[in-house]
Amino acid sequence: MSTSTFSSHLKSQKADFLADNGEGWTIVMGNEAGDLDSLASALGYAWLRSHTSGKAIAYITTPREDFILRAENLYALDLVGITQPFKELYCSGDPIPSQVSQFALVDHNVLNTRYDTPTARVVAVIDHHEDEGQYKDTADPRIVEPAGSCSSLVARFFQSSNLLIPPELSTLLLSAILIDTKGLKAGGKAVDVDREAAAYLIPLSHSARCEDVSALSENHPITQLPSVQSLSATLEEKKFSVSHLSTRDLLRRDYKEYTFTIPASDHVTRSSKMIRAGLATIPLRLSKFFASSKSPTKETQDWIAERDLSVLGVLTTFRNKKGKGRREQLWIIKAKDESIAEKLWRGLESNEELRLKRRGFAKFGFDAKEMITDEAAFGESYIARAYQQRNVNATRKQTAPILRKILEGTP
């Protein structure tokens, strides 16, 4: 399939889907953070499913105006001839036809409450997050296992199907694997399924060159192939080129939201209560995050209000001057939820996986004289703490379940 026919295949598929009013179709969805892994996994599995078990279409959860926030996604899509994603792809903002009731989940394993109607059925799950154990009776396949990238699990499924994977999809899945595993770096997040998936995809992708394919057959490490290295470097550079984004854009660019049930014993009213928490992953160190707008604290407070959050976590990932990966965490809690704050600080600071070390806000350019206490860096209505995360390998995938355990667990 040539590049132009792949994108026109997607466009005509979208038209068919809308003309059918979704009847008989399965919507394949990635997670709400909308990273390249979700995008590639959804397009990959939708293509596979539509060639094996009936009509399926990828639904891209990224709102139209947010496409610009992820330069690496735009770059990878452009590589495969998709130049106007919100026209060619079925996206957030397009109508959800009334007849849709079947969902396939990739890169997450619980259907977002927004789509969870009484008739909704989850017919497939392929994911690499913590398994929440749902849809065991309805989902086939139901693959939930550790991997650096969900795209690797989709690629392995392709391999076992004996379908010929289009080069466009090989390129997209490979790009997602490379960005999630930092180019399959040794000692990083890549596990065997990622390396095997990359080895399968490389010869079938756009980036494949003759020397690459022969190198593979001689058992050279795939991370050292020139085309893989250059694709990986370009994607990473795009991903980290966020210096033009405002505080608000940084917060919403790679963002996930959770609801937690706070046990009755923790709460003044002595009844359990639902709270919302948001986790934003930001590819900049905190000192740069706090330099992203004229009033970064105000924009952050506005985001907390807009999303009606009790807790906002900002998880940073960046490289230090020596090129080593580093991470920090910033937590902001509404001051009226004081019992939540105490519980969260205790749980986070004693967590052996994250290994957090407290950092004062003065380090991030705050004027110590203007703050009543360090915790009041975001004003009196909020309680905030910042940390260096000494386990540099723990991402939101580890932090979200830790947060759930701390907040929902008994004190």
- Which residue is nearest to Mn ion, using beta carbons? 37
Q: Which range binds Mn ion by CB under 5 A, 73-81, 112-120, 144-152, 293-301?
A: 144-152
Residue with Cβ nearer Mn ion (198 or 344):
198
Q: Could you say whether residue 150 binds Mn ion (CB under 5 A)?
A: yes
Categorise residue 284: left if φ over 0, alpha if ψ from -120 to 50, beta otherwise: beta
Residue with Cβ nearer Mn ion (81 or 148):
148
DSSP code at position 99 = T
Residue with Cβ nearer Mn ion (41 or 310):
41
Q: Which range binds Mn ion by CB under 5 A, 36-44, 183-191, 246-254, 312-320?
A: 36-44
Nearest distance in Å: CB 99, Mn ion: 29
DSSP code at position 83 = -
Q: What's 63-131 look like in SS3?
A: EHHHHHHCHHHHHHHHHCCCCCHHHHCEEECECCCCCCCEEEEECCCCCCHHHCCCCCEEEEEEECCCC
Q: Which range binds Mn ion by CB under 5 A, 150-158, 208-216, 221-229, 316-324?
A: 150-158
| Tokens 């969805």 found at | 29
Q: Which residues contact 107 (CB under 8 A, 6 or more apart)?
A: 30, 31, 37, 38, 41, 42, 126, 127, 128, 129, 150
Nearest distance in Å: CB 126, Mn ion: 10
Convert residues 107-136 into a mask of x (bound to Mn ion by CB under 5 A) and - (unbound): x-----------------------------
Nearest distance in Å: CB 29, Mn ion: 13
CA atoms of 192 and 147, how far apart (whole Å): 8
**Contact between 140 and 123 (Cβ < 8 Å):** yes
CA atoms of 229 and 21, how far apart (whole Å): 43
Interacting positions 72-111 with Mn ion (CB under 5 A)? 107
Nearest distance in Å: CB 398, Mn ion: 13
Convert residues 284-323 into a mask of x (bound to Mn ion by CB under 5 A) and - (unbound): ----------------------------------------
Convert residues 348-367 into a mask of x (bound to Mn ion by CB under 5 A) and - (unbound): --------------------
Nearest distance in Å: CB 149, Mn ion: 6
Q: Where are the beta strands (DSSP E) in 128-282?
A: 142-144, 255-262, 273-282
- Count interface residues toward Mn ion (CB under 5 A): 3
Q: Which of 37, 72, 194, 328 binds Mn ion (CB under 5 A)?
A: 37
Q: Which range binds Mn ion by CB under 5 A, 31-39, 73-81, 210-218, 304-312?
A: 31-39
Which residue from 111, 165, 114, 160 is spatially nearest to 139, judged by alpha carbons?
111
Does a cis peptide bond (omega within 30 degrees of 0) precede residue 141? Answer: yes
Residue with Cβ nearer Mn ion (107 or 299):
107
**Contact between 267 and 339 (Cβ < 8 Å):** yes
**Contact between 313 and 277 (Cβ < 8 Å):** yes
Nearest distance in Å: CB 132, Mn ion: 15
Q: Which range binds Mn ion by CB under 5 A, 147-155, 163-171, 210-218, 379-387?
A: 147-155
Ramachandran angles phi, psi of 111, nearest 5°: -60, 130
Q: What single letter denotes the amino acid at residue 386?
A: A
Q: Which range binds Mn ion by CB under 5 A, 37-45, 156-164, 201-209, 272-280?
A: 37-45
CA atoms of 361 and 359, how far apart (whole Å): 7
CA atoms of 341 and 252, how far apart (whole Å): 23
| Tokens 């390249």 found at | 36
Residue with Cβ nearer Mn ion (154 or 403):
154
Nearest distance in Å: CB 305, Mn ion: 29
Residue with Cβ nearer Mn ion (46 or 333):
46
CA atoms of 276 and 122, how far apart (whole Å): 24
Nearest distance in Å: CB 70, Mn ion: 13
Helix axes 210-217, 226-240, angle to 10 degrees: 110
- Point out which residues bind Mn ion (CB under 5 A): 37, 107, 150
